[in-house]
Chains A and B, each alone.
Chain A
Amino acid sequence: MRLGFGGGGMLTGEAAGNTRRTLARMAAYLRPYRLQLLIVAFFVTISTVLRLFGPMLLGRAIDLYIAPGNAVGLRTLALQIIAVYLGAAATAAVQGLIMVVLGQRFVSDIRAGLFSHLQIMSMAFHDRNQVGDLMSRITNDSEAINRTLSNGLIEFTSNILLLGGTFVAMFLLNWQLALAMLVLMPLMLLITGEVTRRSRAAFRTVQHNLGALNAVMEENIAGARVVQAFAREKEVYATFREVNSRYRKAGMTADIITAALGPMFTTMMTITIAVAALLGGWLAIGGVLEIGVLATFIIYIMNFFRPMRGIAMLYNQLQSALAGAERIFQTLDVDPTVTDRPDAPPLEEIKGDVEFDNVSFSYDAEPEPVLKNISLHARPGATIALVGPTGAGKTTIVSLLSRFYDVDEGSIRIDGRDIRDVQQASLRKQLGIVLQDTFLFSGTVRENIRYGRLDATDEEVVAAAELANADGFIRLLPGGYNSQVSEQGNNFSEGQRQLIAIARAVLADPRILILDEATSSVDTRTEVHLQQALLRLLEGRTAFVIAHRLSTIRNADEVLVVNDHRIIERGSHEQLLAMKGFYHDLYTSQYMRVKAAGPVTEPVPQAP
């Protein structure tokens, strides 16, 4: 649905990558566990050797003890075999325990790395990528790696060792027969290569479609209320079903390819045994070969094929891990568009002098600028009001001040320093922002307010809520400040969410406060009280206020009228009214509407 939209940082299509490079990057995540890996390798070797020893001893049982009729020797041998298997089991247990920890840590490192990376990504990236797909990368794609790795690494090592060991043993037993086995190797490699090439493509499609499925789900479960309001269940379900069926199809292809691999090897094994029996039988009848040797040899053939089959299947499984890893690395490879300069110092405690110098900006997917040549200056402690029609660019101005995006032209300075020359975090820490889209996290009311300043005491939380006029309704909740906020704050009205969001920003105690339509859904009686509190709060702080209700604006030191991506008028409320321009029209239309509705008959106040 969103394809063909190649904006910066948009993750589209299936991830692809070079196998060796992807493997190398995965291996880099294993580096911290070098020592543990060495220990595991050591134990794997021991347990593999011991396991190899078992059948060898059993083979000897026939020729050395049973055929000659040595019962005592047989008992000793049996005890030896039991000891060998006990040893093998003990080492297997040790290596298993270590590997579980190691494998889980490895994937959890990958998950954490990916999540951290998403945290530093700029807003532009988050605007362009669907939540569900990113979620799928963190959990499902890392899980694909996990599935392979947790068992794969041990099995792979032990299979390689078993294979090598078996081959050496075969060689010692009868080198001609062993060499004959070698002839089969290229055939096996060919089959494995051909099969995995196909499965790799299929696994890529699987992970891609799983991401798409998650995106559809996330959007429609989080937006389920709208789906129901418009009775769109059928259409949404059709979309889901379609993506779901693509996921099924890809999964089926991958499954069938994977399923074909094992039997191919089993068949080859049986044919080989048949040939060996034929050949060995011929030699044995001719008296060249002992029967015991032939029996052992057949066991070795089984032992030879089993690890070969194991390796081939693991290699196939690895393709699924690689498909997951590619998607993860694809995400990690996207760099944030807004970055700190390497030598950028933190922004020191500011006074709050804000200057926009001829700033132009457009969101990168759109050729049309959203802001053209914006210049403004706010002295420390000043309140700047931004008014104008929706979509004029007011929110963009404050987004740029917060450096959610970087300006295309011009510069923004705080206390004379270009905000691109300081660390983003140190800048935003001194800003308090109440955004237009109120967002609460699930958790308690207290936690949501404390989000503004994590080390705030309970008293400070309450004080902030009081100032935001939220304390009143919070106290009426049965749980008070410990009441649960459900996902997206759905159990609160929009007005209440806004009040909590204001309390959150108040608690942050910022030098610069940004209120973007912060009270649009608060009823006007509450707002009157809130207004007075905010006035006190704004004292000594620089503030940017976006509002449609003019009462907030009247008290501003400077009003900027934004229309059509430019500032078209600026000045104090009185000056702007006197100009009889855009602002005057806006103001009088609102005033007249209210006045027309009521019995109060006073002249339009020109200036209080």
Chain B
Amino acid sequence: MSGLARVVRYLRPYLWMTVLGIVTTILPVLMELVTPRMVQFIIDQGIRAGDMGAVWQGSGIMMLAAILGAATTIGQGIARAQISQGIAFDLRNDLFRHIQLFSFANLDRMQTGQLMTRVSSDVDVARMFLSAGMALLLRTLLMVIGSLAMMLIIDWRLGLIMVAMLIISGSVIFWFLRIVGPLFSIVQQKLGKLNTLVQENLAGVHVVKAFVREQYEIENFDRDNVDYMEQNIRVGWYLALVMPVLLVLTNLGATIAIWRGGVDVIGGRLTIGELVAFSNYMLIGMSPLLLLSNILSMISRAEASSKRVVEVLDTEPAIQSPSSPALIEEPAGDISFENVSFHYSGSRIKRGLDAAAGGNGRSQTGVPDADPANGRRLTRTANGNVRPVGEEVLDGISLHAASGQKIALMGATGSGKSTLVNLIPRFYDAEGGVVKVDGVDVRNWEPVRLRKEIGVVLQQTTLFAGTVRENIAYGRPDATIEEVVSAAQAAQAHDFIMQMPEQYESLVEARGANLSGGQKQRIAIARALLTKPSVLILDDSTSAVDLDTELRLQEALAEKLEGTTTFIVAQRISSVVDADLILVLDDGKIAARGTHEELLAGSEIYREIYYSQFEEA
């Protein structure tokens, strides 16, 4: 019950509500226990004695108890809603905030659908237990204990029969919890898998349609859907069986008690009124026991889900903030790499949330490929290749970019260009060597502060739902419309934005569907420019922009970026000719460095790149 125990800790802010909840749970139970007692009172003291006054008295107490019970139960409902919804709210907030702390290295191994399942479905499962389950459990326990006490008071020998029955039922329940708990965990895991498949399918719907794979996708979905269903059925069967078993046990106890009680009445050791009261207590006390199977499934489900929630909270972000971050007064954008090497190492990440462990949606075989045939463990690098553990993606990188310089990175696909620039905003931590911004190790910067200094245009353009203006002002929501327009103008985005139906207030559709690739890239550039960074990283960010526009963009940037250190990853020579320093990367090492002229004279690879493009023209 480690998961639930953690979740229950969230009760703390709702201490008073909890007290109210407990009190209002106990009171109605007590009120309900009054009823049989009063019925007995009416029969024995009233009817048998022929005393109408006692009948009035008993009925009156009963009604009073009913009204009191109702008032308290409504209080209980309010307390329960406050607590359970409050805890779920806090849990979801904590989860989401924690997920935001995950660095790229964490995220590379996780699946959006799986994380979403944990934040919404798993939290809701826990919430339902907190809301209905916990109150029911408390109520059931109170009812059972209370009525058992009453039964023992009326006749302890008959009561003992019920005690025996409860012990047997308890064992059944215990056995059930142990079997069903892990099954529920699998149910949620399969739900996460299903969610992942749907999420990928919808995010990649254009590819699905392009290749007419709707049927294939439906088959994949059906497979996971059936998988999820079958797991649900498996759990459901246990539930369907345990209920009748408890039913038999309860009623067996009740019948035996009545039988023995009847014999006692015949023997004169018990009054009929006592027996009627006894059987009424049995009815009241034992019928919640039948609800127990529902509560049980709630508990074991909630435990399984809580564990999954806690697992997210316990996954440490691969990048941690420094305890005492350095204070940088005037960021200048001076960047240096000192003998930096990087390779992916999963050591710091708990494997619980690993996407590969959960399996992926489409893999027909279901065999995780994390352990390839040749025995080397496969690992993912920052951005580039999948490589064996330990192989360097970046190896001995040293460079210095003075404030305001333009540094260009060139090299083959997968040579480590993106990885290198991703180390500057500390999206990943270098394994060896130091990356410094303004002379301070990036690991000593407050990450948010560091990233506010650095404008990044990532290779994959991601825009968000909202207007064009909101997207450009993403990094600085308080920017004025003039500033937004100015950034858009520099990014060569202003003209096409003005042609959109509502200009800056036009909505960006899902996946930026109403914008072309080049337009999306230019909005992303405007977004980065608006933050007025001291360092700007353009990671292949004009690949879909036509050459004319790119030329104008380059000129505008040169003007706008006066004093801004710029790292530009590019394929086209034309994008890098005016760079202060060009680095040619080859397989994670700097193969050549210099200005355009120097490299043209001195670097074989650079000449090859140059001629491959010159051939074009």
Q: Which of B47, B103, B510 contacts A130 (CB 8 A)?
A: B510
B610 contacts A by Cβ under 8 Å: yes
Q: Is the CB of A85 within 8 A of B474?
A: no
A140 contacts B by Cβ under 8 Å: yes
B613 contacts A by Cβ under 8 Å: yes
Q: Is the CB of A594 within 8 A of B372?
A: no
Report the nearest A residue to B372, measured CB to CB.
A479
Q: Is the CB of A391 within 8 A of B518?
A: yes
Report the nearest B residue to A394, measured CB to CB.
B516
Report the nearest B residue to A90, measured CB to CB.
B244
Q: Is the CB of B474 within 8 A of A240?
A: no
* Binary interface encoding of chain A residues 266-303 relative to chain B, with 1 for a CB under 8 A from any of its CBs, else 0: 11011101110110011011000001001100110010
In the bound complex, residues from chain B placing their C-beta under 8 Å from that of A267 are 66-67, 69-70, 73
User: Contacts A225-B107, A447-B363, A523-B413 known; A217 to B96 CB distance under 8 Å?
Assistant: yes
Q: Is the CB of A594 within 8 A of B198?
A: no
Q: Is the CB of A443 within 8 A of B360?
A: yes
Q: Is the CB of B262 within 8 A of A66?
A: yes
Report the nearest B residue to A233, measured CB to CB.
B100
User: Contacts A127-B510, A270-B35 known; A521 to B386 CB distance under 8 Å?
Assistant: no
Q: Is the CB of A259 within 8 A of B80?
A: yes
B591, chain A: closest CB distance, angstroms: 13
Q: Is the CB of B456 within 8 A of A139?
A: no
* Binary interface encoding of chain A residues 567-600 relative to chain B, with 1 for a CB under 8 A from any of its CBs, else 0: 0000000000000000001110111011111111
In the bound complex, residues from chain A placing their C-beta under 8 Å from that of B210 are 402, 428, 431, 433, 435
Q: Is the CB of B78 within 8 A of A256?
A: yes
A74 contacts B by Cβ under 8 Å: yes
A444 and B369 CA atoms in complex are apart in Å by: 8
A385 contacts B by Cβ under 8 Å: no
B593 contacts A by Cβ under 8 Å: no
Q: Which of B487-527 contact A (CB under 8 A)?
A: 496, 499-501, 507, 509-511, 513-519, 522, 527
A281, chain B: closest CB distance, angstroms: 4
Q: Is the CB of B414 within 8 A of A74?
A: no
B468, chain A: closest CB distance, angstroms: 13
A308, chain B: closest CB distance, angstroms: 15
B401 contacts A by Cβ under 8 Å: no
In the bound complex, residues from chain A placing their C-beta under 8 Å from that of B212 are 424-425, 428-429
Q: Is the CB of B364 within 8 A of A447?
A: yes
B361 contacts A by Cβ under 8 Å: yes
Report the nearest B residue to A399, measured CB to CB.
B206
Q: Which of B201, B202, B414 contacts A493 (CB 8 A)?
A: B414
Q: Which of B200, B272, B386, B522 contacts A291 (CB 8 A)?
A: B272
A247 and B84 CA atoms in complex are apart in Å by: 13
User: Contacts A221-B99, A255-B84 known; A274 to B66 CB distance under 8 Å?
Assistant: yes
Q: Which of A85, A111, A126, A219 contacts B248 (CB 8 A)?
A: A85
A56, chain B: closest CB distance, angstroms: 13
* Binary interface encoding of chain B residues 443-480 relative to chain A, with 1 for a CB under 8 A from any of its CBs, else 0: 00001100110101011101011100000001101000
Q: Which of A222, A493, A504 contacts B112 (CB 8 A)?
A: A222
A210 and B119 CA atoms in complex are apart in Å by: 11
Q: Is the CB of B206 within 8 A of A278?
A: no
Q: Is the CB of B571 within 8 A of A522?
A: yes
Q: Is the CB of A499 within 8 A of B413?
A: yes
* Binary interface encoding of chain B residues 221-239 relative to chain A, with 1 for a CB under 8 A from any of its CBs, else 0: 1100110111011001101
In the bound complex, residues from chain A placing their C-beta under 8 Å from that of B465 are 1-2, 130, 215, 219
Q: Is the CB of A111 within 8 A of B225?
A: yes
Q: Is the CB of B451 within 8 A of A228?
A: yes
From A78, A433, A487, residue with most partner B Cβ within 10 Å:
A487
Report the nearest A residue to B506, measured CB to CB.
A366
Report the nearest B residue to A366, measured CB to CB.
B501
Q: Is the CB of B199 within 8 A of A131?
A: yes
* Binary interface encoding of chain B residues 60-101 relative to chain A, with 1 for a CB under 8 A from any of its CBs, else 0: 101101110110011011101110111011001100110111
Q: Is the CB of B108 within 8 A of A366?
A: no
Q: Is the CB of A230 within 8 A of B413?
A: no
B614 contacts A by Cβ under 8 Å: yes
A66 and B437 CA atoms in complex are apart in Å by: 93
A232 and B100 CA atoms in complex are apart in Å by: 10
Stretch in contact with the other chain, from B162-170, B331-339, B373-381: B373-381
User: Contacts A104-B233, A123-B513 known; A255 to B85 CB distance under 8 Å?
Assistant: yes
Stretch in contact with the other chain, from B8-16, B141-149, B177-185, B537-545: B537-545
In the bound complex, residues from chain B placing their C-beta under 8 Å from that of A307 are none
Q: Is the CB of A218 within 8 A of B43?
A: no
In the bound complex, residues from chain A placing their C-beta under 8 Å from that of B517 are 390, 395, 436-437, 517, 520
Report the nearest B residue to A244, measured CB to CB.
B92
* Binary interface encoding of chain B residues 329-355 relative to chain A, with 1 for a CB under 8 A from any of its CBs, else 0: 000000000000000000000000001
Q: Is the CB of A61 within 8 A of B258?
A: yes
B256 contacts A by Cβ under 8 Å: yes
Q: Which of A298-342 contact B (CB under 8 A)?
A: 298-299, 302, 306
B311, chain A: closest CB distance, angstroms: 16
A123 and B510 CA atoms in complex are apart in Å by: 10
Q: Is the CB of A490 within 8 A of B108?
A: yes
A251 and B567 CA atoms in complex are apart in Å by: 49
User: Contacts A78-B255, A219-B465 known; A263 to B73 CB distance under 8 Å?
Assistant: yes
Q: Which of B58, B200, B254, B522 contacts A442 (CB 8 A)?
A: B200
A441 and B544 CA atoms in complex are apart in Å by: 22
In the complex, how many residues of chain A place their beta carbon closer than 8 angstroms to a beta carbon of chain B?
Answer: 206
B240 contacts A by Cβ under 8 Å: yes
Report the nearest A residue to B81, measured CB to CB.
A255
User: Contacts A93-B244, A244-B93, A266-B73 known; A221 to B109 CB distance under 8 Å?
Assistant: no
Q: Is the CB of B609 within 8 A of A525?
A: yes
From B207, B276, B381, B609, residue with most partner A Cβ within 10 Å:
B207
B116 contacts A by Cβ under 8 Å: yes
A231 and B426 CA atoms in complex are apart in Å by: 12
Q: Which of B119, B236, B608 contacts A100 (CB 8 A)?
A: B236
Q: Is the CB of B207 within 8 A of A451?
A: yes
User: Contacts A277-B55, A479-B386, A482-B372 known; A439 to B120 CB distance under 8 Å?
Assistant: no
B425 contacts A by Cβ under 8 Å: yes
Q: Which of B398-432 contact A (CB under 8 A)?
A: 410-414, 417-418, 425, 427
In the bound complex, residues from chain B placing their C-beta under 8 Å from that of A585 are 548
In the bound complex, residues from chain A placing their C-beta under 8 Å from that of B159 are none
A111 and B201 CA atoms in complex are apart in Å by: 14
* Binary interface encoding of chain A residues 66-86 relative to chain B, with 1 for a CB under 8 A from any of its CBs, else 0: 110111001101100110011
Q: Is the CB of A278 within 8 A of B56?
A: yes
Q: Is the CB of A248 within 8 A of B259?
A: no
In the bound complex, residues from chain B placing their C-beta under 8 Å from that of A425 are 212, 214
A535 and B568 CA atoms in complex are apart in Å by: 31
In the bound complex, residues from chain A placing their C-beta under 8 Å from that of B325 are none
* Binary interface encoding of chain A residues 211-251 relative to chain B, with 1 for a CB under 8 A from any of its CBs, else 0: 00111011111111111111111011100110011011001
From A58, A244, A278, A391, residue with most partner B Cβ within 10 Å:
A391
B252 contacts A by Cβ under 8 Å: yes
Q: Is the CB of B43 within 8 A of A71?
A: no
Q: Is the CB of B252 within 8 A of A270?
A: no
A132 contacts B by Cβ under 8 Å: yes
Q: Is the CB of B50 within 8 A of A285?
A: yes
In the bound complex, residues from chain A placing their C-beta under 8 Å from that of B77 are 255-256, 258-260, 263
A119 contacts B by Cβ under 8 Å: yes
Report the nearest B residue to A65, measured CB to CB.
B262
B410, chain A: closest CB distance, angstroms: 8
In the bound complex, residues from chain B placing their C-beta under 8 Å from that of A435 are 206-207, 210
The 3 residue pairs across chains A and B that have the minimum distance between CB atoms: A259-B77, A390-B518, A96-B240
Given A244-B92, A365-B507: 8 more A-B contacts, CB < 8 Å:
A115-B201, A140-B121, A291-B43, A367-B501, A391-B519, A484-B386, A486-B380, A491-B380
Sample (25) of A-B pairs whose CB atoms are under 8 Å apart: A85-B247, A89-B245, A150-B236, A213-B120, A217-B119, A225-B107, A228-B425, A237-B97, A251-B127, A255-B131, A256-B77, A263-B70, A266-B66, A277-B58, A390-B522, A390-B544, A391-B515, A441-B362, A443-B361, A483-B372, A504-B211, A520-B543, A521-B459, A525-B608, A548-B547
